[in-house]
Structure 1
Amino acid sequence: MTSRTTAVPKNRHGAPAEIVPRGGGSPSTVSAPRAPIMARRTKMWILNGVSLVAGIGIWWLMALGGFQFPTPPEVVVAAIELWREGILQRDILASLARVLTGFLVGSAVAIPVGFLMGWYTVARGLFEPWIQFFRTIPPLALLPLVLVLLGIGELPKVFVIFLAAFLACVISTYQGVVSVDKTLINAATVLGAKDGTIFARVVVPASTPFILVGMRVGLGSAWATLVAAELLAAQAGLGYRMQQAQLYYDLSTIFVGIIAIGILGLAMDRLLLLAESKLTGWQERR
């Protein structure tokens, strides 16, 4: 005599699925997929807070232990003074304008070029040697030449930022296109999809994660290039302010510039992460 067991339905996560009794009533097993997500986010925020406090504590100990660092209160006082005088706002706006202009234009040019290189063999043959050639040259190495050709205005600074963002994003976009699963393309072809439909409905969504990663890398390169570009022939900006503070050995102002760049870069990176979560919600994640 065999005993009969009843299989318990499970959801896609392997957990017991929600079971609603006949005739209504509350479910016997309530699945709350958002609860684990909220718990992970809360844990991450706690870890971020602990890391921040620990970092400031280590900085404070180093400042009191013989390193020529200003203490956190001294940096806060310097930031308040610069803010009251309007200097910090002016520098932040000048640096943000240069970074956003170069980064957005560089990404806007890199994405279609990367798609062309990945989708068309002719475009790949024409563009790839030049992109690989300039990718091995740091954008800052071209800054003296750019200053001679374009002058000492805003254009050379924006151009080197554009170049840094473009080179990071175009390679990632190209890699995303060539990494698309051929099974998906073949399946769409069998179903009668044309090249334009396959590109728009298969290639572009599958390449989006690569594009956003490239944009994040390009954003970091843009900020790193900005600071060096502002050291030459700038009248405002966080990099310019740090250079001026160096002449007077004003370490507190230098730290204000470093922290401001870090906060701005982190905020922009988090915005890209938010866009990634919205645009690539179909991906399976750990």
Structure 2
Amino acid sequence: MQLTDPRRAAPAVTTGGTPAPARRRRRWRGRSLVLNLVSIVLGVAGWETLALLGYTLPTPAAVARRAGELVADGTLADDVRASLRRVVLGFALGTAAAVPVGFLMGWYATARALIEPWIQFFRTIPPLAIIPLAIVLMGIDETPKVFVIFLAAFLACVIATFQGVVDVNRTLIDAARVLGARDLSIFLRVVIPASTPFIFVGMRVGLGSAWATLVAAELIAAQSGLGYRMQSAQLYYDLPTIFVGLISIGVLGLVMDRLLLLVERRVTGWQERR
């Protein structure tokens, strides 16, 4: 009589044939969505309460009315397009430059010794402090705006990429060498996959830095953009318009962050998660 090895037993399934872990994940996603909605409702309720108590805040209804006006006349759409163009371009260029520089610093000790002091030096200088220099050197068109955003994203991502290469498990590299792998093969098959989670963390931090730098970047002779609209509203004490800009930046940043997180999960599906 053949005995069944318990270690090879079929995974637990539900009555519908769906694995139990998958059902638990779906249940948690539903619960997480409900908690997100509850959090939003509580936040708006707290905002309304503060406004009714006399704090200098517009009510959610006033902000919604102002948002409707800006949407109706096309102003909000134009501002969103202008800001998105600057952020996406600066972030994309910053990430594209940061990843190879981070790999270079992490893989070659000589490159690290040459480049790292400059990276650490510029990290101590806020990107906003570069604005006067950017205006003098690049003028007042789109170039200095994108450059400041590029710098913010680059400095966040390059450090994460460098740290990812440095933290690769040395045992994996040694095992690959024992099996006869050359440096290029080790770099492509071991270092890059092991560093990918760090790169995505750096990209998410860089994306946040890019949006955080946007408002200041649009001080440079901008004629449109969410930051520009908020700066103009400040002159007239137009709080609803300022809140519309803040909420728009927050929503756009959140959506882009979630898209990055989705890509990360697909690319690093092999990584164990809690």
Q: Note whether the superposition's TM-score is higher than 0.5.
A: yes
In structure 1, distance between residues paired with 2:163 and 2:144 = 29
Q: Indicate the SS of the match to 1:265.
A: helix
In structure 1, distance between residues paired with 2:61 and 2:222 = 29
In structure 2, distance between residues paired with 1:9 and 1:80 = 62
In structure 2, distance between residues paired with 1:188 and 1:8 = 33
Of all paired residues, the percent bearing the same amino acid is: 65
Tell me: CA distance 1:121–1:252, structure 2 relative to 1, closer, same or farther (3 Å).
Answer: same
Shift of 1:19: 8.1
1:168/1:214 contact within 8 Å kept:
yes
In structure 2, distance between residues paired with 1:9 and 1:130 = 58
Provide the residue aligned with 2:36 in structure 1: 48
Deviations 1:51-106 (A, max 9, x none): 11000000010111111111111111101101111110100000000000000000
Corresponding residue to 2:76 among 73, 78, 88: 88
Shift of 1:189: 0.8
Tell me: CA distance 1:200–1:69, structure 2 relative to 1, closer, same or farther (3 Å).
Answer: same
Provide the residue aligned with 1:213 in structure 2: 201
1:91/1:237 contact within 8 Å kept:
yes
Tell me: CA distance 1:30–1:246, structure 2 relative to 1, closer, same or farther (3 Å).
Answer: closer
In structure 1, distance between residues paired with 2:102 and 2:252 = 27
Provide the residue aligned with 1:127 in structure 2: 115
In structure 2, distance between residues paired with 1:18 and 1:256 = 50
In structure 1, distance between residues paired with 2:20 and 2:67 = 45
In structure 1, distance between residues paired with 2:40 and 2:157 = 30
In structure 2, distance between residues paired with 1:44 and 1:200 = 37
The residue correspondences of 1:92-111 to structure 2 (distance < 5 A) are 92-111=80-99
Specify the structure having the higher radius of gyration (Cα). 1
In structure 2, distance between residues paired with 1:135 and 1:10 = 52
Provide the residue aligned with 1:247 in structure 2: 235
1:17/1:30 contact within 8 Å kept:
no
Provide the residue aligned with 2:6 in structure 1: 9
Deviations 1:247-282 (A, max 9, x none): 111110000000000000000000010011001111
Structure richer in helix, relative to its length: 2
Shift of 1:39: 1.2
Shift of 1:40: 1.4
Amino acid paired to 1:9: P
Corresponding residue to 1:282 among 256, 270, 274: 270
In structure 1, distance between residues paired with 2:121 and 2:26 = 46
In structure 2, distance between residues paired with 1:199 and 1:134 = 28
Are positions 1:151 and 2:139 aligned together?
Answer: yes
Provide the residue aligned with 2:56 in structure 1: 68
Tell me: CA distance 1:19–1:122, structure 2 relative to 1, closer, same or farther (3 Å).
Answer: closer
- State the TM-score, normalizing by the size of structure 2: 0.95
Provide the residue aligned with 2:186 in structure 1: 198
Are positions 1:226 and 2:190 aligned together?
Answer: no
Corresponding residue to 1:265 among 226, 244, 253: 253
